[in-house]
Amino acid sequence: MSSIKVYYTSVSGSREVKHRQEEVIRILDTYKIKYELIDISVSLKVLQEMRMKVSTPKALPPQIFNGQEYCGDFEMFHKAKENKEILKFLKME
């Protein structure tokens, strides 16, 4: 069973970050894929955990995982959507 996790922030001054997060959630909902949202704004520890997992010290949300396996960031997700490869991107097939 897959365990999709989306690191996001509930507090952002960036419209671009908000838009990207909303698009990821909308697409996951469209595909009826269950996911867990992990809010990096609740603590610095959660933000650092996300950045450590993606191996990018300045990574911004949204970042997407299947369990502990990193799937990618918004750009990679968007490309997978355009290529109709969302399930492959999410490592669900």
How far apart are alpha carbons 78 and 68 in whole angstroms?
A: 21
Q: Please give the Cα distance from 90 to 65 (Å, whole number).
A: 7
CATH 3.40.50.2300 fits 4-89, yes or no: no
Residue pLDDT, tens place only, 41-73: 999 999 999 999 999 999 999 999 999 999 999
Q: What percent of the chain has pLDDT over 70?
A: 98
DSSP for 30-78, written as a single string: HTT--EEEEEGGG-HHHHHHHHHHHT-TT--S-EEEETTEEEEEHHHHH
Q: Locate the domains of the chain by residue range.
A: 4-89
Residue 2 pLDDT exceeds 80:
no
pTM score of the predicted model: 0.94
Residue 84 pLDDT greater than 60, yes or no: yes
Rounded Cα gap, residues 52 and 91, in angstroms: 20
Q: What is the pLDDT of residue 93?
A: 86
